[in-house]
Amino acid sequence: MTKNGAADAVVVEHIEQILVVTINRPHARNAVSAAVTQGLVDALARAQHDSDIRVVVVTGAGEEAFCGGGDLKEMAGGRSLYPSPEIERAWGFGGFCRHPIDKPIIAAVNGYAIGGGVEIAMACDLVVATESAWFSLPEVRNGFLASGGGAIRAAQWLPRAIAMEILLLGESFSARRALEWGLVNRVVPDGRSLSTALDLAHRIATSAPLAVQATKRLVAGIVDGTAVTELEAWARNDREDGVVSETEDAKEGPRAFAEKRPPVWKGR
């Protein structure tokens, strides 16, 4: 058992040259807790430094959800979603969204990807989704910003008008709509997201690994382990998030969710 129960919260399997990483909290829609964050940090660090691993596939346990975002019940109880402040600063939401690695990452989205779940998918390089998958960035409905990279990357992946719509309305959209918009690469029958992601991973793994990694660095703007093209955006993100996260509304959102009632916004 690793610290914070990470071995239970995230299951890691090395299949040939692919590291399959599964968020393992199906009872909570695979929502991110401190243990999930630690498990994802450990998995990405392993992938980055193990030359036998050429591609990473990330998915969620069960068929209901890929990832339900941050665990609002944990937040309402005053528990951090990060095992330490250092990991929060260095790795970002879920230990995944802010610390790029050279190896390609494929998201196998099965079921719901909500909030931080979409942000994890957008931190990947390819996305495969099932027909029944649904996506949403509902943070504004819970008193937050999509500060795990959602507000930054939505405008990179999508046309500005569509990015604004999904961020400001916070409404769900289907896998088919995500495919039309360019947010996902493949939409496959239910139960096939992982097998399709593995097929893509195997095909990537047949290419020269150093060329693949250099290609990812060029496209993603990664220099010395940092996405340098996003530095200014992350600085603005952190300033806005620092203000919003201290408001009364930011406390009301998780509390209302835990109490199963509509939030009462104060605008302060």
Positions annotated as catalytic residues are: 119, 139
| Strand-pair partners of 106 | 57, 126
Residue 132 burial class via C-beta count within 10 angstroms: exposed 0-12, middle 13-18, buried 19 and up: middle
CA atoms of 187 and 199, how far apart (whole Å): 14
Given CA atoms 256, 237, 184, 59 in this order, what sign does their dihedral have?
A: negative
32: which DSSP letter? Answer: B
Nearest alpha-carbon partner for 104 in 228, 191, 206, 35? 206
Stated length of the chain: 268
Residue 179 burial class via C-beta count within 10 angstroms: exposed 0-12, middle 13-18, buried 19 and up: middle
Amino acid identity of residue 76, one-letter, is A
Residue 210 burial class via C-beta count within 10 angstroms: exposed 0-12, middle 13-18, buried 19 and up: exposed
CA atoms of 264 and 266, how far apart (whole Å): 7
Question: Is 36 in contact with 25 (CB distance < 8 Å)?
Answer: yes
- Distance, CA of 125 to chain centre: 11
